[in-house]
Copies of this chain bind each other. A is one copy, B any other.
Amino acid sequence: MPTKKGTASGGTRRTPATGSRAANQRADAQRNRAKILAGTVTAISRNPDASVADIAAEAGVGRVTLYGHFQNRAELIEAALMDSLERGEDVLSEVPLDGEAAAAFQRLVASSWVLVDQSRALLAAAQKELPAARIRELHENAEARMRGLLLRGQREGAFRVDLPVSWLLTTTHVVMNGASEEVRIGRLDPEDAPRFIDAILLPAFTQKRDR
């Protein structure tokens, strides 16, 4: 992967030569970190049980370099997941959430699904390597956005109110992850997934006025 050469930026009180060397080292470190995180996703996607050595090889860095950034596999997986979630936030924050709540929910689920679909292997590895509470914590922003929308839908009568929002949120979460697992094991075509997810969640969440 081609990366830009780090340019020495000033702002230190060291001599120019030392400052430049330090800046180069920082730029190198940043490039290595990015290479390691990208290599983690690739290696894990190929083999969910990829070792730290496999990941270092994939990233094209030595194990010593890798261990200089991440102490163990769990730290590595966590950093890669954080990185992936940060980029996911850039996408999700652009989804228009105004207008009819059920339609906005469909848009948000569709965009979330794209991210779940992309980060499937990484998330599966994280589920094995990290405590469930930590994974939940990392998804806090995405969860807060979905919760806010579900609450608005409940207030406006679009979504049923006989179930707490936490249960609607959990259902959304497990149905999307269930679809992801079905895709992973080849039982569900990823093209069908958004429709299948909506087909469960919308009737389940929509108030039945005529019952």
User: Is the CB of A173 closer than 8 A to any CB of chain B?
Assistant: yes
User: Is the CB of A132 closer than 8 A to any CB of chain B?
Assistant: yes
How far, in angstroms, from A208 to B204 measured CA to CA in the complex? Answer: 11
A76 to chain B minimum Cβ distance, whole angstroms, is 18
Residue contact B188 to A178, C-beta cutoff 8 Å: no
Of residues 105 through 126 on chain A, the ones whose CB sits less than 8 Å from some CB of chain B are: none
Q: Which residue of B lies closest to A206 (CB)?
A: B203
- Interface window among A36-44, A50-58, A82-90, A164-172: A164-172
A187 to chain B minimum Cβ distance, whole angstroms, is 6
A120 to chain B minimum Cβ distance, whole angstroms, is 13
A188 to chain B minimum Cβ distance, whole angstroms, is 7
Q: How many copies does the complex hold?
A: 2
User: Is the CB of A128 closer than 8 A to any CB of chain B?
Assistant: yes
How far, in angstroms, from A174 to B208 measured CA to CA in the complex? Answer: 23
How far, in angstroms, from A199 to B205 measured CA to CA in the complex? Answer: 9
Residue contact B199 to A170, C-beta cutoff 8 Å: no
User: Is the CB of A181 closer than 8 A to any CB of chain B?
Assistant: yes
A83 to chain B minimum Cβ distance, whole angstroms, is 24
Q: Which residue of B lies closest to A199 (CB)?
A: B163
Instruction: For the complex of A and B, list the 3 residue pairs with the smallest distance between their C-beta atoms, beginning with the closest.
Output: A174-B178, A204-B204, A174-B174
What would 25 A/B residue contacts be, using CB atoms closer than 8 Å? A128-B128, A133-B185, A160-B199, A162-B199, A163-B199, A163-B200, A166-B182, A167-B196, A167-B200, A170-B178, A170-B181, A170-B182, A170-B187, A171-B178, A171-B200, A173-B178, A174-B174, A175-B175, A199-B204, A200-B200, A201-B204, A203-B203, A203-B206, A203-B208, A204-B204
